[in-house]
Amino acid sequence: MGGLVRSRDRVIAGVCAGLARRFGMSPTTMRLIFVLSILLPGPQVVIYLVLWLIMPDERSRP
């Protein structure tokens, strides 16, 4: 497995696809989990935004 990077297979920022690749899941499954988790109370959107800022883009890696 590679490092944690935002994927080129992106809908918004590539965070869900990058997490899915890192943990061996389908990007669609990860996106569905994220959307369903938004229905629960918690800082899911803030975590997504923080990951968007700190995860390097796959295109910027050698």
Residue 62 has pLDDT above 90, yes or no: no
Q: For tokens 């997490």, what's the residue?
A: 19
Supply the pLDDT for residue 10: 84
The answer to the question of residue 44 being in a domain is: yes
Q: How far apart are CA 10 and CA 31, in angstroms?
A: 10
> The domain containing residue 36 runs over which residues?
15-60
* Chain segment 1-59, per-residue pLDDT in tens: 468 888 888 888 989 999 999 999 999 999 999 999 999 999 999 999 999 999 988 87
Structural domain includes residue 6: no
Looking at residue 34, what is its pLDDT? 94
Residue 8 lies in a domain: no
**Number of compact structural domains in the chain:** 1
The answer to whether residue 35 sits within a structural domain is: yes
Q: How many CB atoms lie within 10 A of CB 44?
A: 15
- State residue 1's pLDDT score: 46
- pLDDT confidence band for 61 (50 / 70 / 90): low
Q: Is 3 inside any structural domain?
A: no
Residue 4 lies in a domain: no
**Burial status of residue 24 (CB atoms within 10 A of its CB: 0-12, 13-18, 19 or more):** exposed
Q: Is residue 42 part of a domain?
A: yes
